[in-house]
Amino acid sequence: MFEIFQSEKNGKYYFRLKAANGEIVLTSQAYADKASCEKGVASVQSNAANRQNFEESQSTDGKTFFNLKASNGQVIGTSQMYASKEGMNKGIESVINNGGSQDVHFVA
């Protein structure tokens, strides 16, 4: 399920992808308007099924995370930090399994 929300701090729009258990598995960049954010959701829906669109990375403190990229190489969404590569791989699988969801909600 996708949630679209507007930040009270900066007025920008964001989306987050949640797994069936309610855990957030992917978050977006900031968008200036809701329509652009909805296009970001559509990009996840069309790109999440392809494992090659995931870029794995490691932070300076040794934790792992991933970015989902569009076919043009632009980052669509970023995961949380994971303590292990195994946890990160489970996160990627969750995005692959849930990223095609047509269930999109606006959270006020």
Any idea where the domains of the chain sit in the sequence? 2-107
6-11: average pLDDT: 96
The answer on pLDDT for 38 being more than 90 is: yes
- What mean pLDDT is predicted for residues 74-97? 96
Percent share of the chain, pLDDT over 90: 97
Instruction: Specify the CATH number for 2-107; select among 2.10.240.10, 3.60.20.30, 2.102.10.10, 2.30.29.80.
Output: 2.30.29.80
Mean pLDDT of 29-36: 97
pLDDT number for residue 108: 80
pTM: 0.93
Q: Which long-range contacts (CB under 8 A, 24 or more apart) does 86-92 make?
A: 88/56, 88/64, 91/25, 91/66, 92/51, 92/54, 92/56, 92/66
The CA-based dihedral angle spanning residues 55, 105, 42, 59, taken in that order and rounded to the nearest 10 degrees: -10
